[in-house]
Amino acid sequence: MDFDHIHEERILVLDFGSQYTQLIARRIRESHVYCEIHPFNIGMERIRAFGARGIILSGGPSSVHDDGAPLADGEIFGLGVPVLGICYGMQLMAHQLGGAVEKADRREYGPAAINLESESVLFQDVERESVRVWMSHGDRILRLPPGFAVLAHSENSPVAAMGDATRRIFGVQFHPEVAHTPCGKAILENFLFRICHCRSTWTMKSFVELVTQALREKVGDDRVICALSGGVDSSVVAVLLHRAIGDRLRCIFVNNGLLRRGEAESVQRIFKDHFELNLITMNATDVFLDRLKGVTDPERKRKIIGNLFIELFESEARKLQGAKYLAQGTLYPDVIESVSFKGPSATIKTHHNVGGLPERMNLELIEPLRELFKDEVRLVGRELGLPEHVIQRHPFPGPGLAIRMIGDVTREKLDMLREADSILLEEIEASGWYDHVWQAFTVLLPVRSVGVMGDERTYEEVIAVRVVESVDAMTADWARLPFEVLQRISNRIINEVKGVNRVVYDISSKPPSTIEWE
């Protein structure tokens, strides 16, 4: 779905490959200005069509002297739109506008202090001396381009910031977008509000209003179907669409029998009873368990579950005559076609989603959250009145408990795991840890061990407890839960889950481990 130009005051961030590019966009949006990240080479036609109030050139790992170094289209500087270059973005400016860049003797990496040299609106309300900033560069500016003045210097960078106030083109050698540059927010806001003259109109309330209207116009009298999983993204999509088109939205919830305890009932209660969504629940436990019978390979489990989900969803969708659109909860980090994100993308685990469906089903995609970061989705959820426990819920993998039991999937194991899982969650919530960790779950291991209960020797199952902290699931570390909390979890699982006599805590980080065991 194309929401182009529903946000009129927009900033364009051109990405030259910095690990911080997404942070630049986050900071701008936190200041309530809409912005998008695009690759540095999208071409002048798209840049003009974008209609930015201001353009930011990100940092990047290259040196302007490298063969094939990414360059900005020179016309950018003649558009009459303010430009801010950050780190490599500033060096580019110097290089392309007639200045000179040289290799510095020493790389400047980490904290540094800058001193301001001349008055500039970019540094309004910023201290003048020993301003703490974060540097990360090898090259430095040797000669300013014509028309520019030095705005600040550091010990190692004679030009730590420069600007041409007439053309409204500025560059900073440091990274204002990172937390280690405490005045970074003020500098970026000076650029946004005092140089580009943006207003802070980007709020989740305005987003909900604009998108509701855009969805109404786009869908017209047609129907939309939506696979609801109960996770925050699909829940927000469903409620947003319901608000826009009411009963012309049909939601399908597939109970595959691999869910946590009470999940199906809770989705039903929230969405059907409370939000009055048009929700169909498919009870497909038998067919899922049947197809998974005897399967032990984790990737095969994933494929079977993903394919069966598509099969069932298709057959249900076909029954709903006249649906033209399929709604999905795709988020902004998934769609940024940015140089920073073309890292090694080897499939370590096939993550199941419903991609591939529309082509086979002749449905057009609607992705109302395409422009949002995860924390913005949560704010939209709040704006829409979703319960806090849905908004703050931990991620749960599509293949569910099937990838949390090593070996084959059986009803008995599922029951055991559900029981252990619900005890763990109760204790994590009761101890106040739920909102501080990324995920907390249990894994049923394929080994038995000896124990003693009363006077009896036992030979029973082992449950592993995994609780991790993470910001984006790319890396993770095990949560340092207090011993008392671990003790309660262990006692309760061993006492209450029949057939379990041992609990272990997983103390592996990702990498080299992964979050899930399979």
Closer Cβ to ligand XMP, 410 or 470, answer by number: 470
DSSP class of residue 19 equals T
Cβ atoms of 64 and 101 within 8 Å: the answer is yes
**The tokens 């082992």 sit on which residue?**
462
Residue 352 sits in the site that holds ligand XMP (CB under 6 A): yes
102 C-beta neighbours (distance < 10 Å), count: 12
User: At its nearest, how many Å lie between ligand XMP and the CB of residue 268?
Assistant: 21
- The residues, any chain, with a CB within 8 Å of residue 361's CB and separated by 6 or more, are 314, 317, 318, 326
Closer Cβ to ligand XMP, 147 or 231, answer by number: 231
Residue 43 sits in the site that holds ligand XMP (CB under 6 A): no
Closer Cβ to ligand XMP, 203 or 475, answer by number: 475
- The residues, any chain, with a CB within 8 Å of residue 87's CB and separated by 6 or more, are 18, 58, 59, 60, 136, 137, 172, 173, 174, 175
- Site residues for ligand XMP, 470-509, by CB under 6 A, read 473
Helices first, then strands: H and E counts in the chain: 15, 18
Task: Pick from 351, 411, 436, 498 the residue near ligand XMP by CB under 6 A.
Answer: 351
- Site residues for ligand XMP, 375-434, by CB under 6 A, read 395, 397-399
Closer Cβ to ligand XMP, 415 or 516, answer by number: 516
Task: Pick from 132, 167, 291, 349 the residue near ligand XMP by CB under 6 A.
Answer: 349
User: At its nearest, how many Å lie between ligand XMP and the CB of residue 429?
Assistant: 18
Nearest to 228 by CA among 166, 290, 271: 271
| Amino acid type, 430 | A
Peptide bond into 512 cis (omega under 30): yes
Cβ atoms of 34 and 206 within 8 Å: the answer is no
Closer Cβ to ligand XMP, 364 or 506, answer by number: 506
Reduced to 3 states (helix: H, G, I; strand: E, B; else coil), residue 119 is: coil
Closer Cβ to ligand XMP, 156 or 509, answer by number: 509
User: At its nearest, how many Å lie between ligand XMP and the CB of residue 238?
Assistant: 17
User: At its nearest, how many Å lie between ligand XMP and the CB of residue 350?
Assistant: 6
How many angstroms separate the Cα of 239 from the Cα of each of 153, 217, 295, 373? Answer: 51, 17, 37, 18
The stretch among 100-108, 214-222, 377-385, 510-518 that binds ligand XMP (CB under 6 A) is 510-518
Classify residue 228 by burial, with Cβ atoms within 10 Å: 0-12, 13-18, 19+: buried
CA distance 153 to 161: 7
Number of residues that bind ligand XMP (CB under 6 A): 14
User: At its nearest, how many Å lie between ligand XMP and the CB of residue 328?
Assistant: 13
Closer Cβ to ligand XMP, 374 or 510, answer by number: 510
User: At its nearest, how many Å lie between ligand XMP and the CB of residue 514?
Assistant: 3
**The tokens 């009870």 sit on which residue?**
283
User: At its nearest, how many Å lie between ligand XMP and the CB of residue 138?
Assistant: 33
Residues taking part in catalysis: 87, 175, 177
Closer Cβ to ligand XMP, 179 or 473, answer by number: 473
At 332, list the tokens. 């902004």
Nearest to 137 by CA among 106, 99, 114, 168: 106
Nearest to 253 by CA among 244, 245, 263, 261: 263
Task: Pick from 24, 25, 133, 515 the residue near ligand XMP by CB under 6 A.
Answer: 515
Residue 439 sits in the site that holds ligand XMP (CB under 6 A): yes
The pairing of strands 83-86 and 54-57 is: parallel
Planar angle of CA 152, 154, 160, nearest 5 degrees = 45
- Binding string, 281-320, against ligand XMP, x = CB under 6 A? ---------------------x------------------
Closer Cβ to ligand XMP, 268 or 353, answer by number: 353
User: At its nearest, how many Å lie between ligand XMP and the CB of residue 467?
Assistant: 12
User: At its nearest, how many Å lie between ligand XMP and the CB of residue 347?
Assistant: 10
Classify residue 76 by burial, with Cβ atoms within 10 Å: 0-12, 13-18, 19+: buried
**The tokens 């309330």 sit on which residue?**
205
Planar angle of CA 326, 332, 336, nearest 5 degrees = 110
Binding stretches for ligand XMP (CB under 6 A): 302, 349, 351-352, 395, 397-399, 439, 473, 510, 514-516
